Structure 1
Amino acid sequence: MNDLKLNPSPEFAEAWARSRSYGIDPNAFPSVLPVPASDLQQRIFANRLLLESALPYIDHLYRTVESECIVAVCDVDSVLLATRGERLPDEILKQHTTPGMCWSEPIFGANALGTAIAENRSVHIVGTDHYLTDLHGMSCAASPLHDEHGTVIGALAIAAYKTEHSPYMLGTVLSITHAIEKAMILKSQHYRTLLLQEKITETSNHLILITDAKGNIVHRNQAAELMMPVAGAPRLQDLFSEKSAPVVALLEQCDLTDFHEKLLHPVTGAECHLFWDARWVIDPMVQQTTLLLVGRDMTRYVRMEHNLRQSERLSTMGMFAAQIAHEIRNPVAVIKLAMQLMLGQEDFSEKSEKKGQMILREISRIEGLVNHFLDISRPQNPDFKECDIIELLRSTCNLMQGVFREANLRLVENYEEVGLLRADCDQLHQVILNLFRNAIDATPAGGEIELTVKRPEEEPDFVVIEVRDTGQGIPEDRLQDIFEPFYTTKSKGTGLGLHNSKAIIEAHGGDMEIESEIGRGTRISIWLPMCPEEAILD
């Protein structure tokens, strides 16, 4: 117990009392080993924010202090995470300033690092205020480090020989601790901001790309990867044409706003409408420029706008059709009746009779056009009743058998038992007749038309009716317009059949899809709910 100070300064009385309770021999310097390397690495990783904030300060402090000293930072368990003390010659202190050493009070008694953490206050222990005799020649100042919530997460210490003691040592530690805590708060906020930006970027439906000044893509979010599934780190020029918004912004070094561009989706092949914003960002610290590109997929809204214009056009056309229908139908009916009477009652030359029959055919054609106009003006309101779709389709096929034989076409029927539907049988009959007529017109003699009814396993609440032909097919660039009113690929078609058919199916709560390939034919699929919402409301 030689040289043991039995009565420390009142400031450290409690620390000494704890040291005695731990059973520490003040005259025996503890012989302990650092924590295992794996444990140390885990502690360093867990305290990476602390170390990233503290290391620049302790490095600067150690470089600027000319005296022989130790600068150390530890975690909340008093385990040293980083130290600077290469100029200190004392072999014992060299051993115990190794990263991984634990300077807690239960091991070394009252000491600057352990006591600062145990009591959560700044301390400056000089000479005999140390509990261990071997530390009486030291002057040590330490201050706890707190996170942004005020929780102790470690401590910073400066230790020197007593001969190097300075009353400013504690002030230096306090100022550096304050700076480190501020740096941690800023870094923490920066990390949160970066994390938030990353989450926003990844969850955004917009296409987000970041490139360097040469167009090399340094980042693209998930939406951009789905739209442009190219492996590696491509350039903008590898993904876009020279007239596209990204390449224009890159080559002309300009900002862009709402640059409208059409792209074909690489997977579905559907046309997409993108509105691009491009911004050049200059980093003044390193004088580097970055191009930020944001592409908003406005396909849905473009289609909505298109449908709105179409609805307005159809509404106007419906009003027009309703106004002129009666004006046309009455005189046409009179002309048709008169011509039929003339052909039946008077004698005409063969040539005149052919002309009369031609007039009747054209009058019938006029009547058909008028009826089409009336179909547009008349809302498609189904009269929902129980409908045996298989029976309906079989009767429709029987009705069309003569037409198929005349066209030298083979009709194949595939029926799967689907049960009864709630639907308007008359309207569905009209739809199937129209699809058959289109298939017959598109299929050359000797071809095949297949009718299939099934209930898909993945969508058991729906019935699918498919009409497939082996005709010439429809070009891909025309498929998107195939349901538009007055759009037709036939020389004598009105372009209203498919439009009206789709309107009927949609009124049933279903949908109509088309697939086609040049030279291989066309498949039209009708999806009908087993019990549409409109029927439930009835």
Structure 2
Amino acid sequence: MSQLHDRPRVLVVDDNATLVENLTEILEEAGYAVRGHGTCAEALHGAREQGFDVALVDLRLPDGDGTALAPQLKEVAPDGEVVLLTGFATLESAVAAVRAGACAYLVKPCATQELLVTVEQAMRQVRLHGEKRELSRRAQMAEKLAAVGTMTAGLSHEIRNPLNAAALQLTVLERRLQRLPAATQPPLLEPLQLVRDEIRRLDHILEDFLQFARPREFQPHPVEVATVLTKVLDLLEGEAERRHIALERDLQPVPRVAGDEERLRQVVMNLALNALDAVGRGGTVRVSCQVEEPASGEVAIYVDDSGPGIAPELRDRIFEPFFTTKAQGSGLGLSIVHAIVVQHGGSITIEDAPGGGARFALRLPAAR
């Protein structure tokens, strides 16, 4: 991600070009990314295109009123905050600002310190909105986790026992069919294989539930990242070739990480398989590793694909239990990946791949 996108975004809406220029200079020096607009229409278009965190809006604009624009901006960016500007402070204008949903009210010309303090107070509100949303998301996830645990405890044996029995009977039936003349076997064995594949799929789903609800005890050991990635990529080369997908690797020297090698292989395998599913024939999947932060020794593992990417509105939900964009599956694969990464003291994010498509960025602390 670029440094520009990491900076808080401020929208300045005023038809006084000189004022917009002055405010932009002050705010950019304070570390904000600033965009200026002179009309309501321009401000709304800019907000829809690029969003904002804080909007400084004049009460009087050529094509409308700031008190009418403020709620429209809030509708575009519900977590954003609006500060109204006016050159004529009156009780009526202050009341109008409050009714419009503005978090603050500044009189032009305002002192630099007053401007910066007001914008920072608005940013605190923005961050608070984000924290509340994250707490709500975590609460929902905790409820789903509890539901999974309760359900798994009661149903695991009830489901696995008949699955095992069915798989055993299929094996017996297959042996009996193989005693028939060779010419009669294919049409009989084909549906048998389909049933076996479906039983295997159900068993994998059940295994996901069990692993998610009852994670194994974690005992970290120094793990060579390149070894983990090499084992996964070697296993997937045949599958990638069968799908006519280029599977690339760029394994730079990195420190060892403290973790569980088997679980880290599971993480990378899951991400790589998802990437293969995301690209079509002739696509590319690239797995790489590098030192992310030289000072801390943090290790980054990237899984990039040339697929259509992941829509921004889905990125916050992609690691939720049971959330999936696939027609089949438990919706637990990426939730398990997230849980394992957190268990290792790391983080995983979804970004845009450098060449287009999606990038899953896994960051792990180096072993000490």
Describe the SS at the equivalent of 1:231: strand
Equivalent residue in structure 2 for 1:434, among 258, 270, 287: 270
Distance 2:302 2:296 in 1: 16
5+ residue gaps, structure 1: 1-204, 265-271, 533-538
Distance 1:439 1:287 in 2: 58
Residue 160 of structure 2 aligns with an amino acid whose one-letter code is: R
What RMSD, in angstroms, separates the aligned Cα atoms of the two structures?
Answer: 4.2
Distance 1:483 1:383 in 2: 24
Describe the SS at the equivalent of 1:466: strand
**Alignment-derived partner of residue 161 in structure 2:** 330
Matched, 1:374 2:179: no
Distance 2:140 2:150 in 1: 16
Distance 1:312 1:449 in 2: 35
Distance 1:208 1:519 in 2: 30
Distance 2:217 2:75 in 1: 36
Give 1:228 deviation, angstroms.
7.7
Distance 2:171 2:82 in 1: 64
* Aligned ranges 1:21-420 → 2 under 5 Å: 229-231=34-36, 234=38, 238-240=42-44, 250-251=67-68, 261=74, 263=76, 273-274=79-80, 289-290=93-94, 291=97, 293-294=102-103, 296-297=125-126, 298-346=129-177, 347=180, 350-379=186-215, 381-420=217-256
Matched, 1:475 2:308: no
Residue 384 of structure 1 aligns with an amino acid whose one-letter code is: P
Give 1:474 deviation, angstroms.
2.3
Q: Is contact 1:262-1:274 (8 Å) kept? A: no
Residue 427 of structure 1 aligns with an amino acid whose one-letter code is: R
Distance 1:349 1:273 in 2: 64
Distance 1:275 1:376 in 2: 39
Describe the SS at the equivalent of 1:456: strand
Percent identity over the alignment? 23
Q: 1:304 to 1:260 in 2, by over 3 A?
A: farther
Distance 1:490 1:349 in 2: 34
Residue 477 of structure 1 aligns with an amino acid whose one-letter code is: E
Please say which structure displays the higher CA radius of gyration. Answer: 1
State the TM-score, normalized to the length of structure 1. Answer: 0.49
Residue 192 of structure 2 aligns with an amino acid whose one-letter code is: G
Q: 1:307 to 1:288 in 2, by over 3 A?
A: closer
Give 1:322 deviation, angstroms.
2.4
Give 1:413 deviation, angstroms.
1.9
Distance 2:138 2:214 in 1: 18
Q: 1:423 to 1:252 in 2, by over 3 A?
A: closer
5+ residue gaps, structure 2: 1-7, 48-54, 58-63, 104-121
Q: Is contact 2:44-2:73 (8 Å) kept? A: no
Describe the SS at the equivalent of 2:302: strand
Give 1:480 deviation, angstroms.
2.6
Paired residues in the alignment total 310
Superposed CA deviations along residues 139-190 of structure 1, whole A, max 9, x for unmatched, are xxxxxxxxxxxxxxxxxxxxxxxxxxxxxxxxxxxxxxxxxxxxxxxxxxxx
Residue 289 of structure 1 aligns with an amino acid whose one-letter code is: S
Distance 1:519 1:448 in 2: 10
Greater alpha carbon shift after TM alignment, 418-427 vs 328-337: 418-427
Q: Is contact 2:287-2:303 (8 Å) kept? A: yes
Give 1:349 deviation, angstroms.
5.5
Bigger helix share = 2
Residue 525 of structure 1 aligns with an amino acid whose one-letter code is: A
Distance 1:287 1:331 in 2: 75
> Relative CO higher for 1 or 2, CA cutoff 8 Å, sep ≥ 6?
2
